[in-house]
Structure 1
Amino acid sequence: MATSINRRAALGVGTAATAGVVFGSTSAASASPDSPPEQEVTETPAQRVRAAYRQAANRAGGRWRTYISVAGTAGGVTPVVAKDPDEPVQAYSVNKIAVAAAVLDKVDRGLITLDQRIDVTSTLVIPGGDGIFSLDGAYPSSVTLGHGLAALLTVSDDTAVRICGLVCPTLEINQILTDKGFPQTQVQPGSSPNRFFLGTTTPRETHDLLQALVNGTLVSPASTHFLLTALRSPIAFTDGIRHNMSSDERLRVATKAGWYADGRNEAGLIFNPAGAAVLTYAMFADGQAEPDNYGATHPVRQATAAMGRRFVDAVTDPPASVSVPRQTPAYRPSNGG
C-alpha cells in the first residue's frame, strides 16, 4: 500500500516540495494546479510503526524504554524501535506472562496439572487491586490452577499471583526463567518462599520471551495455546494497544499491561488475518502526568491506543511470512440460557 511521506519525514527533509505534505495525505496542500505531480513515497511497515511510536510517545512525554520489531516477508524479525532496550525496568503485571510461563513449564513436565485444585483462603486474597478473587466474599473456597492462570492473564488478578506462588515458589520461578534464557526477567522475593513481588525485566527480554512464546520454543504446544488464548481474549486489557480496534482486530492482539505508581507498561504481539505474528512490542513508560489515573485517559494509555491503531494498519497488508501460524480465536457472545 502506497502512502505519502509522513509529516515527520517531510520536516526532516526540509525542502519546499515536501514541507506541505501531511501524514496520511496523498498530495501537498500548497501545490498549485500547474505544479508537477507530487511523487509518492512508499513507506514500509517498519517505517510506519516507527513513526507512529515516536509521534505518540513524544506527545505523552515522560520516559520510555521500548523494544519493537516487525516480521519480514522472508521470515525473521527486524527491530524498528530500540529505546534503552537493555535497561532493567520494573515490569509490574507484564511479568505475569513470565510467571505463567514458569508455572506452565512445570505443567509440561508433569509436576503439576491445570485441573488440580487450589485452596483459596481469606488470608490468600489481596484486598482491592485488580481481579475478581477479592470480589468473591465467600472464603474458604477452591479453584483449579487453570482458573487461577486465566484470571492472572486476562483480568490481571493480583490474588492469582499468590495462587501461582503456591505451586511454583519464588526461587523456582526465577531459576526456570534463567534456564530459559531470561536472567533479568525475575520476580522479587516476598514475605515467604511462596510469595513474591512481580520484579524486573528489560524491554529486550520481554520482547524475546514473547517471540519464544509465539515461535513455540517457550513452553509446550498446549501451554502455548493456553497462554495466547488468554492474552487474546476479549476480556484481556483494552485500555491501551487494543483500545481503538474492532472486536475482530482485538482478537488478533495478545497483550498484557502492568501499572503501579507512575509506571504504565504494555507488551504483546499483533497478528495479521493469516495468523502471522507480525509485530512484537515491549513498552515501559513512567514519569508522565496523572500518576493516580489508571484509566484510558492517562497520557500513556492514550499514546498506546493511538499506536495500536496505526500498528495494526501498518502490518496487516501485506502479510508477513511466519513459521508457526496461530489461528485467531472466534468470539461467540452469549445471552445466557
Structure 2
Amino acid sequence: MGSGVNRRRMLGIGAAATAGVLVGAGSASAGSPADRIAAVYRREVGRAGGTWSSVITAGGTRPVSERADEVVEAYSVNKLAVATAVLDKVDRGLLKLDQRVDVTAEIVIRDTDGIFGLDGAYPSSVTLGHVLANLLTVSDNTAVRLCGLVCPAAELNEILRAKGFVHTQVVPVANPNRFFLGKTTPNETHTLLTRLVEGTLLAKTSTDYLLSVLRSLTSFTDGVRLHLRSPERLRVATKAGWFNDGRNEAGIMFDEAGKPVVTYSLFASGTFTGDKAANDADFGATHPALKARAALGRAMMDAVGKLSAPAARTFTAPAYRPYNGG
C-alpha cells in the first residue's frame, strides 16, 4: 500500500461490468443440491442489487457463472494472492515462516482494521508466519506492507504471472516494497483456490498452512459464515475484501471428511438495495451484499453433505476447543 494510505482510500471501482450470465443454466439437474445453490444465488442477488461477478462450483458442476472473466477490483481478496506469492518464496527456500520481520512505527497503517495499529509498542518484530496469519484472518493492512518487505510488488506480480494469473496483480507505487491490492477476475480467484486444494499451487506444507489459517474461527464471519455453527465455520476457508462500494468474498467449503466440495468467488459492487450513502458506509453483516452472502453460505453448506467431491486431498479441520486461559 502507498504511504499513509489505508484500504478505505484505495483505488476506486473500475468500469461497470458487462453482461454475460450463466446461472444454473444446464449446469445441474433440476432439484439437485447444485441447482438449489443457483436458485438461492439468483434470489439473494436479486434482493441485494448491485453488479455481481461470480463463480461457484459445487461437486464438480458450475451452477453459477456470472461475468466470470470480468476484471474487478479485488480489494482484500487479493491478500490470498499476496500470501500465495510469499509462500511460493517459502517453498523455494528464499524465506522462512519463522524468520522475523521488523515492525517500525512508520510502517504501521493507522486504520481501524487489524491489530498492528492498536499496538503502541514500536519498533518491534514478528515472525513472517504471524504476518501472514494477521493478513488472512483479521485482514490487517499493515501486514500487506510487511509482506512487501520480503516480496516486493514487481516480484509478487511476476510470481503470480508465472502461475498463470495475468489479471490477479497488485498495483506498484513509487516505493517498491508497497502496493495497492489491485484486481483479479472471478475465474482467476476461483482457479487459485482450486489449484490450492489440488496441490498444484504451493507445496504441501504451505498449502496446509494457508488452509489452516483461512479456516480459523478468527477469519471473516460476517459473510458466508454468518449463519453457520462453529464446527461448520471450521470447514470454510474464506477471505473477504471491501472498500468503497465493493463487497467481495472467495473461499472453499469442505465436507465432514475434509474433502473440498464447494468453491466460490463472489465480487459485488455498485448501487445496492436501500440508501446508497448508508450502504457505502456499512462494511458489516447488515449490508445487502453481505446479507445475500450469508443466505448463500447457509445454502452452500447445506448442499455440501449432499454433493460428491471430485478426487482430491482431504483437509480435515480440527475440532473446536475453546479455552478459558490459565
Sort the TM-score into its range (normalised by shorter chain). Answer: 0.7 to 0.9
Q: Do residues 99 (structure 1) and 82 (structure 2) align?
A: yes
- Among 187, 200, 203, the residue aligned to 1:220: 203
Quick one: percent identity of the two aligned structures? Answer: 59
Q: Do residues 152 (structure 1) and 135 (structure 2) align?
A: yes
Q: Is the 8 A contact 1:155 1:237 kept in 2?
A: yes
User: Normalized against structure 2, the TM-score is what?
Assistant: 0.88
Q: Which structure 2 segments of 5+ residues have no match?
A: 1-23
What's the CA shift for 1:333?
A: 0.9
Q: Is the 8 A contact 2:261 2:307 kept in 1?
A: no
The match for 1:313 is 302
Report SS of the residue matched to 2:107.
coil
User: Normalized against structure 1, the TM-score is what?
Assistant: 0.85
- Among 36, 47, 50, the residue aligned to 1:59: 47
Report SS of the residue matched to 2:105.
coil
Q: Is the 8 A contact 2:197 2:312 kept in 1?
A: no
Distance 2:98 2:296 in 1: 38
Distance 1:46 1:322 in 2: 18
Flag the structure with more relative contact order, 1 or 2, with Cα contacts below 8 A and sequence separation at least 6. Answer: 2
Report SS of the residue matched to 2:134.
helix
Q: Deviations over 1:217-256 (max 9, x none)?
A: 1101000011100110000000000000100000010000
The 5 Å alignment of 1:175-190 reads 175-190=158-173
Q: Is the 8 A contact 1:229 1:329 kept in 2?
A: no
Q: Do residues 43 (structure 1) and 31 (structure 2) align?
A: yes
What's the CA shift for 1:42?
A: 6.5
The match for 2:283 is 294
Q: Do residues 323 (structure 1) and 312 (structure 2) align?
A: yes
The 5 Å alignment of 1:73-84 reads 77-84=60-67
**What is the CA RMSD across the aligned residues, in angstroms?**
1.3
Q: After TM superposition, where is structure 1 displaced by more than 4 Å over at least 4 residues in a row?
A: none
**Letter paired with 2:58:** V
- The worse-fitting range, judged by mean Cα deviation, of 200-209 and 271-280 is 271-280
Larger-Rg structure: 1
Aligned pairs, how many? 293
Distance 1:333 1:267 in 2: 26
Distance 2:30 2:162 in 1: 43
The 5 Å alignment of 1:9-48 reads 43-48=31-36
Q: Deviations over 1:77-128 (max 9, x none)?
A: 2221111100100000000001000000000000011111111001100001
- The worse-fitting range, judged by mean Cα deviation, of 271-280 and 102-111 is 271-280
Distance 2:107 2:257 in 1: 42
Distance 1:326 1:98 in 2: 20
